[in-house]
Structure 1
Amino acid sequence: MSQPWVPFDDRGLAYGDGVFETVLLHDGQPVLWQQHVERLLEGCQRLMIDPPSPAALSATWQAAPTVGWEVLKIIVTRGSGGRGYAIPDVAAPRLMSRRVPFQPDSSAWSQGVSVRICSLRLARQPRLAGIKHLNRLENVLARQEWQATDYREGLLADNHGLVVEATSMNLFWEQNGCIMTPTLDQCGVEGTLRAALIDAQLVTPAQLAIDEVAAVDRLWLANSVQGVWPVNALWTAEGAPLRRWGAPRHDPLQAVAHPLLGYPATS
């Protein structure tokens, strides 16, 4: 159930002590709901927060019937209290949600996008790797690196030089006929669409150095809200061109991913 305000002592507000999910709704029904629930529960377990009940989570989208696309954001915090970083003796986790209308950018599906490499490097922390916790300061700082509308996203590497993700999307590449995505056991967010594509055995986790991204055969960004964006141009953090890719006649990633989301494949 949506809460109109957050108390000053809420630990999610004070410390980022919580998790969140951003869920695509189509005609009032959640897309990839099971994957979102599993990731939220995994995040709660890692942070040792008592998770919401299945009924409470389902109530966030089981409202009056709607038509079209929406985005539902769910936030779970540990609740209020505690002394400093110490958690309260008895925590009362707080569940909040909001749903808003949404229109996907179909031009990005067909025309592709231009992206840049970010100078910020992600810190490794295996205990937080994969989950969608509320502390996203690295992503916020990375997104401040550009204001020009020429770039739709920025690519992030970790402090070992391995590519991890974009600021708000997962990364995929094709090399020698194989589609791969970064291994996210040290940092980064394991997206729900990414999980579904791995389960479908279309995508394999692998490692790729940030310096090698320009050499791949194809590059994509994707998440469970925006769908799959082919990358048509890659730029350095200083604004120098690195690589351009032509539009493919057939997009194997969109062909599998978009039906999972209810979106059309564009080629």
Structure 2
Amino acid sequence: MSTAPVRLLLDGKAEAAVSPLDRGLLYGDGLFETVRFAAGSAPLWARHMQRLQHGCKRLHLPAIDAEHLESEALSVIDGMPEAVVRITITRGIGERGYRLPAHPQPTRLVAAFAPPPSPPEDYRDGVVARLCALRLASQPLLAGLKHLNRLEQVLARAEWDDPAVFEGLLCDEAGRVISATMANLFAVIDGVMVTPALDRCGVAGVARAEILARGGVQVRDLPLDLLWQAQELFLSSSVRGILPLRTVGETAFAPGPHTRALQQHWRDLGFSGSQA
């Protein structure tokens, strides 16, 4: 099976030689954003840059140049009608050890990929999810950030190889539902949209932020036993949009008016096609 070449810029140059001494490689010391482009535009770009700037501040990384990143992103997607751009920022090369470099020179990697398949039936009928055995560890200092250490998600995704299962839901150590491995989770309970609080662990997605900005969502702890009482369950992702969950394990759910309204909102933002 052939793989299409990846278009990328490393510190603005068309090369892929990251130093083996880069702290992103050695320690996962950095952040990333995965941005969906449609017809040469990224409707959630401002939210991605806001989260990236916030993450840089929390990790004591130099501030980013959002205009420069946008220029590089547009360069790597040139000629691609639909694309996913991954922006990776690391602290760069430093002396061996955990101590922060006194004057960091961040590494900047901007790469474009073809978007993932978007079967229309997934958005119409929903996808299948399972409950993962792995539990997310609590670390408030990193909670919400899209940092480079994704080992928890890697190990959770390794729990299944059934192609019929699209996603896995993750709980924290106390049994509270947090998210899916690649997306945020929303539930409609007693007619109210609820999404898990992410002050202990988890990634605060930009699609989640877009939904929260519309209002009418409770951000709260979501115990697992309450999840089974939901009338609707759906995932939010800046890459895939709004995906209803059809089943989680043996429990069935059905797309409802809240899910459909947000799918329409995604189309209104400019994400055309079945992925919205």
Q: Answer yes or no: same fold by TM over 0.5.
A: yes
Structure 2 residue matching 1:193: 3-state secondary structure: helix
Is the Cα contact below 8 Å between 1:104 and 1:226 reproduced in 2?
Answer: no
TM-score with structure 2 setting the length = 0.88
Q: What value does the CA root-mean-square deviation take over the aligned residues? A: 2.0
Structure 2 residue matching 1:131: 3-state secondary structure: coil
Residue correspondence of structure 1 range 1-267 to structure 2 within 5 A: 2-3=9-10, 4-63=16-75, 65-66=78-79, 68-105=81-118, 106-235=120-249, 241=250, 243-248=251-256, 251-263=260-272
State the alpha-carbon separation in 1 of the partners of residues 54 and 202 from structure 2: 14
State the alpha-carbon separation in 2 of the partners of residues 262 and 110 from structure 1: 16
Q: Which amino acid aligns with 1:2?
A: L
Q: Give the C-alpha shift of residue 98 in structure 1.
A: 0.5
Structure 2 residue matching 1:161: 3-state secondary structure: coil
Structure 2 residue matching 1:96: 3-state secondary structure: strand
The Cα offsets for residues 34-61 of structure 1, whole Å up to 9 and x where unpaired, read as 0000111111111101122123212222
State the alpha-carbon separation in 2 of the partners of residues 264 and 102 from structure 1: 12
Q: Which amino acid aligns with 1:244?
A: A
Quickly say closer, same or farther: Cα 1:263–1:181, change in 2 above 3 A: farther
Quickly say closer, same or farther: Cα 1:252–1:82, change in 2 above 3 A: same
State the alpha-carbon separation in 2 of the partners of residues 5 and 71 from structure 1: 21
Of residues 1-10 and 161-170 in structure 1, the stretch that sits farther from structure 2 once superposed is 1-10
Q: Give the C-alpha shift of residue 89 in structure 1.
A: 2.2
Quickly say closer, same or farther: Cα 1:151–1:207, change in 2 above 3 A: same
Q: Give the C-alpha shift of residue 226 in structure 1.
A: 0.4
State the alpha-carbon separation in 2 of the partners of residues 192 and 42 from structure 1: 12
Is the Cα contact below 8 Å between 1:29 and 1:61 reproduced in 2?
Answer: no
State the alpha-carbon separation in 1 of the partners of residues 164 and 117 from structure 2: 18
TM-score with structure 1 setting the length = 0.91
Q: Which amino acid aligns with 2:254?
A: G
Q: Give the C-alpha shift of residue 202 in structure 1.
A: 4.1
Is the Cα contact below 8 Å between 1:123 and 1:187 reproduced in 2?
Answer: yes
State the alpha-carbon separation in 2 of the partners of residues 194 and 15 from structure 1: 28
Q: Which amino acid aligns with 1:140?
A: V
Is the Cα contact below 8 Å between 1:254 and 1:265 reproduced in 2?
Answer: no
Aligned residues: 261
State the alpha-carbon separation in 1 of the partners of residues 124 and 81 from structure 2: 21
State the alpha-carbon separation in 2 of the partners of residues 45 and 261 from structure 1: 30
Is the Cα contact below 8 Å between 2:245 and 2:254 reproduced in 1?
Answer: no
Q: Give the C-alpha shift of residue 83 in structure 1.
A: 2.9
State the alpha-carbon separation in 1 of the partners of residues 227 and 242 from structure 2: 18
In the other structure, the counterpart of 1:238 is: none
Is the Cα contact below 8 Å between 1:80 and 1:92 reproduced in 2?
Answer: yes
Is the Cα contact below 8 Å between 2:128 and 2:164 reproduced in 1?
Answer: yes
Unpaired runs of at least 5, structure 1: 236-240
The Cα offsets for residues 182-221 of structure 1, whole Å up to 9 and x where unpaired, read as 1111111111011011111143312211232122111111
Is the Cα contact below 8 Å between 2:144 and 2:199 reproduced in 1?
Answer: yes
Is the Cα contact below 8 Å between 2:136 and 2:201 reproduced in 1?
Answer: yes
Q: Give the C-alpha shift of residue 65 in structure 1.
A: 4.6
Unpaired runs of at least 5, structure 2: 1-7, 11-15
State the alpha-carbon separation in 2 of the partners of residues 172 and 247 from structure 1: 12
Q: Give the C-alpha shift of residue 81 in structure 1.
A: 1.2
State the alpha-carbon separation in 2 of the partners of residues 213 and 82 from structure 1: 47
Is the Cα contact below 8 Å between 1:69 and 1:103 reproduced in 2?
Answer: no
